[in-house]
Amino acid sequence: MTDRTGRYDVAIIGAGVCGANIARKLSQYELKVALLEKEIDVSLGTSKANSGIVHGGFHDNKKYLKARLELKGALMFERLHDELDFPFERCGIVVVALHEDELRTIEQLYLQGVENGVIGIEMCSRERMLELEPKLSSDTVGGLYAPSGGIVEPYRFVFSLVESARKNGVDLVTEFAAALARREGDDWIITALDGREIRAKYVVNSAGLFADTLSKAFGAEDFAIKPRKGEYYLLDKMTKAKPNRVIFPVPTAVSKGMLIIPTVEGTVLIGPTASAVEDKEDFSTTRVELEKILQSARTMIPSISETDVITSFAGLRPVCGEDFIIELSAKAPHLVQVAAIQSPGLTASPAIGEYVKDLLKKDGLRLVEKPDWDPCVEKVRRARDLSPWELDEMVAKDPAYGDIVCRCERVSEAEIVKAIRAGHTTLDGIKYVTRAQMGRCQGGFCTYKIIKILMRETGMGYEEVTKRGGGSYVLRGEL
């Protein structure tokens, strides 16, 4: 795994959605690439907890890099969806105006969308809005419809990108908390908190919330990433309030507002809030913010009920100014900064992969395409997606498909075993890959089964089982 003596052409620090896209892009070329992640699994930072949206391309002006990358990235998802194994659907986005005044902003968004070349964007009357989304409030006066917007499961996207990158030769090094960097000859030596070292000629800083401290470790630009917390509620898929498309309120000067998102897997997500916090590891939810979510969501869809809530969570946006920072460092050699990737970072991320590849090329990295690059990964069959007849066939091939471990999300033992064998050896890792523990019972019925399978497959003792690595142990003793 770790390569102490060898030298990487490129080391990418941070295995979130940007790092993963960059790694997969670079895996197309004859390069030795390391993807370094401080956590026990990939996608556990900002990429885990966000709205999971492929944006509609009308919120930002093209003068911003983030808008240009958003427009380009949004168009790349069909192909990625074909090649990789993650849920994605172009369900469309509506922006709902609840007062006459808001229609002016709607018109501005429409004009910006048209200028940005968004296909199919339209302004909607009240009648048209209610036809598209019958559950909207009767206060609706009109709105905007962007059919090209979509939804994606962000962590599955990252997992699949990383799987593809690894399949094509990228080394993933987890629990590598990059702390120090020094020059040795023409190379960077990156030292982790535990003393491990990685040598690389080029480095990409895609460390998310920690891109600022990492930049300093490389003696590069001095900027400050401020975490901005977004809290969410997740609603049961049985909710009667599920819309057909992503519902946005009319944005304000500072925020796109709190959304109602029908997720690809059938649940409904409402949020996010936006509040500045100090601690980059503060993923706690707060009573005050959570209350705002329900209030705001109900102004758009009044039938949203707190009895549908199955969990709440928070994510942190890495904020520094208004735009993304994606550039070659002017101070440190062979370092690409990929920082301040807040919304629409997920949408833009495939384009960010390309953009960073071009920056590296500009900086002298030789890119020779691999003749045998394989863009595709195995698409794992999921019990919940199969008809009874298809499932019967799967059980004939692999009986573990017949043991349903997670009843709420209908996840079979076969899927859990595959996730563990792919390296996801924590309860959260298994959850994000398979959805087991993610449904309405939140693991009440299946956690003990997953612990058993995990111990059997890995040979772990009970004391080694964790929720997400570190000190998040699950059991504290035996009888």
Partner 1 sequence: MKQLKFDAAVIGGGAAGMSAAAELRSRGCSALVIEREEELGGILMQCIHNGFGLIEFNEELSGPEFAQKIEERAVASGIEALCGTTVLEIRQEGGFHVVYGVSSRHGVVRVEAKAVVLAMGCRERNRGNIRIPGSRPSGVYTAGLAQRLVNIDGYIPGKDVVIIGSGDIGLIMARRLSWSGCKIHGVVEILPYPSGLTRNIVQCLEDFGIPLYLSHLTTNIRGKDRVQGVEITPVENGAVRYDKSFEIPCDTVLLSVGLVPENELSRNLGVEINPATNGPWVDSRLMTNIPGVFACGNVLHVHDLVDYVAEEARRAGAFAADWLAGASPQRELRLKTGSNVRYLNPSKVDPDRENKIYLRSMVVKNGAVLEARIDGRVVKSIKKAHVQPSEMLFLTLGPKDLAEPDQRTASQSAQVEIAIV
Residues that bind partner 1 (CB under 8 A): 233-234, 238, 281-287, 290, 306-307, 309-313, 383, 388-389, 391-392, 395-396, 399-404, 407-408, 410, 413, 427, 440-445, 447-448, 451-452, 462, 466-468, 470-479
Quick one: which H or E segment has residue 23?
A: helix 17-26
- Decide whether 343 or 447 has the Cβ nearer to partner 1: 447
Enumerate the H helices of 188-250 as residue ranges: 211-217
If the CB atoms of residues 304 and 408 are measured against partner 1, the closer one turns out to be: 408
Helix (H, G, I), strand (E, B) or coil at 215: helix
Output the smallest distance, CB 431 to partner 1, in A: 12
- Let me know: does 93 contact 262? Beta carbons within 8 Å: no
Query: Based on CB atoms, which residue is closest to partner 1, 284 or 303?
Result: 284
Closest separation in Å from C-beta 391 to partner 1: 5
For 206, the 3-state DSSP assignment is coil
Contact between 80 and 180 (Cβ < 8 Å): no
Q: How far is the CB of 294 from partner 1 (least distance, A)?
A: 9
Q: In angstroms, rounded to a whole number, what is the distance separating the alpha carbons of residues 26 and 28?
A: 5
Grouping H, G, I as helix, E, B as strand and the rest as coil, residue 142 is strand
- Please choose, from the candidates 436, 426, 434, the residue with its C-alpha nearest in 3D space to the C-alpha of residue 382: 434
What whole-number distance in Å separates Cα of residue 143 and Cα of residue 137?
12
Looking at beta carbons only, is 271 or 350 nearer to partner 1? 271
Residues ≥6 apart with Cβ < 8 Å to 144: 58, 94, 95, 106, 109, 110, 113, 121, 122, 123, 124
Minimum distance from residue 132 beta carbon to partner 1 (Å): 25
Cβ(455)–Cβ(435) under 8 Å?
no
Smaller CB distance to partner 1: residue 282 or 358?
Answer: 282
Closest by CA position to 272, among listed 468, 44, 96, 52: 52
Report residue 411 as tokens: 């996840």
How near is the Cβ of 383 to partner 1 at its closest, in Å? 8
Q: Smallest gap, in angstroms, from Cβ of residue 365 to partner 1? A: 38
Say whether 55 is catalytic. yes
Measure the CA–CA gap between 1 and 224, rounded to whole angstroms: 32
Q: Which is nearer to partner 1, 145 or 233 (CB)?
A: 233
Q: Which residues are catalytic?
A: 55
